[in-house]
Amino acid sequence: MNWPTLVLAVLIALLQYPLWLGKGGWFRVWDNDQQLRAQRELNQKLEQRNAGLDAEVRDLKSGYEAIDERARYELGMIRDGEVFVQVPQRGPATAPAAVSPAPTFQAGGVNTAKPAR
């Protein structure tokens, strides 16, 4: 191989390096594009979550129904004059040991069950 061909091959390789591996090269552009897509997907999910939270805040500010609902389902609160009845779900079929009467609750969460004798 003669030296002019070798020099031209080295020059072409040197010119290709920035195109593929340099600061604005194809590999870096591809990597940045992948990061941008991932960030956009994350932003879209967060925007949906924020919209839901915003709607919930507006609902809580506008009336007492949402507050009442949260108090009932998340905190287990009841209104005056209401009776709270809890029905336990059955687990695996096993013979129960000593069964005591289930406690009953009335307004204010007062336990009115009589102690087992």
Structure confidence at residue 102 (pLDDT): 52
Structure confidence at residue 5 (pLDDT): 87
Q: Is-contact 112 104, C-beta < 8 A?
A: yes
- The backbone torsions φ and ψ at residue 44, rounded to the nearest 5 degrees and listed phi first, read -65, -45
Q: Smallest Cα–Cα separation from 33: which of 25, 92, 115?
A: 25
Which residues does 54 contact at the CB level (< 8 Å), separation at least 6? none
Each residue's pLDDT, cut to its tens digit, for the chain (117 residues) gives 688 888 888 888 888 777 777 777 888 888 999 999 999 999 999 999 999 999 888 888 887 887 888 888 888 788 888 887 878 888 776 655 555 555 554 455 444 444 444
Structure confidence at residue 94 (pLDDT): 60
| CA distances from residue 7 to 21, 22, 116 in whole angstroms, order as listed | 21, 21, 100
pTM of the model: 0.45
